Amino acid sequence: MSPTFDVVTVGESLGLLTAPRSGRLHHNPTLRLGFGGAESNVAIGVARLGGAAAWIGRLGADSLGELILRELRAEGVHPYPVLDHDAATALMVKERPHPGSARVSYYRRGQAGSRLRPSDVPAAVVADTRILHVTGISAGLGESARTAAHAAVDAATSAGVTVSFDVNHRSALWSDRQAAAAEYLELARRAHIVFAGEDEAELLTGADSPQWQLDALLNLGIDCAVVKRGADGAMAATAEGRYSAPAVAVPVIDTVGAGDAFVAGWLADLARGATLRECLDTALACGAFACTGEGDWESAPSRDDLRWLRRGPVDPVSR
């Protein structure tokens, strides 16, 4: 029998307050309320592309937690939350202090997402998917969330489920870069697919060339390594070969969430049985489209959006 889900993600979701215009936070009289989080972003991205996605995490038993669950369900994601009555849902605040720049402040330590426990992860849900996706953010949130991520990987490994790991380094969560690298490597060695930006791949491998980074990542014993290069596109490698592709040129509004959209595109296609080349091409298109609007996940594309992106020269006005 086929699995219920294409992708199950495990990790933290946070409330999000966004300043609607450039300038210091204290000069913005109003803030826009939403939510974000790498793992839930990926789940939404997969669902937008027609995949069956689920999210596992811990939320406060509060209004922010209710907002996150309502939005996940509205986006077609199946949430498996634990509601924490002793800690609030974490929060992040995004401001644009200067034109073209953004700064995010986090209020997450000791909050519900960082208190995710191994017992919060339903092994039956993890076993009922094609792909499990985790990130290095869980490792940075503390021992509880880190062991929960490993428990999810344990369940996936026992069930023969493909494990995807995105480094997603957050320097604010670590006082020691080498400690971060060690934790990331532990998760990477247990994964089948590893996604990393160039700087993250260098942190893991010590190599400063994408080609060498791919070689070093494959030497960890993983099946597929992907290095995201921003405006320079991306490269991917398996034991059978490697493929690189340029970025898709788009007018950039906001790059936040582009990396998660990239991963969602890759995993959604992988769940469909796509080739390495097809996965990378879709991932790049998804990452590019996400840059054309604001929000952590709001600009993640649908399949129709990707067809629009690839349409070529046309009249910009639909009549």
Among 260, 269, 281, 296, the one annotated catalytic: 260
Kindly write down the DSSP assignment for every residue of 255-277, as one continuous string. Answer: -TTHHHHHHHHHHHHHHTT--HH
Active site residue 260: yes
Q: Which residues pair with 235 in a beta bridge?
A: 227, 244
- Could you tell me the two tokens for 275? 């080739």
**What is the spatial distance between Cα 94 and Cα 102, in angstroms, rounded to a whole number?**
7
**What is the spatial distance between Cα 222 and Cα 193, in angstroms, rounded to a whole number?**
6
Find all residues with CB under 8 Å of 126, minimum gap 6, and list them: 8, 10, 56, 132, 152, 155, 156, 159, 161
Please report, for residues 10, 21, 141, 193, the alpha-carbon distance to residue 145 in angstroms, rounded to integers and kept in the order given. 10, 34, 6, 21
| Cβ(90)–Cβ(45) below 8 Å | no
Nearest one of 236, 263, 255 to 46, comparing CA atoms: 263
Backbone angles phi, psi at 35, to 5 degrees: -155, 165
- Could you tell me the two tokens for 80? 């498996």
**What is the spatial distance between Cα 296 and Cα 58, in angstroms, rounded to a whole number?**
19
**What is the spatial distance between Cα 168 and Cα 54, in angstroms, rounded to a whole number?**
20
Q: Which residues carry out catalysis?
A: 260
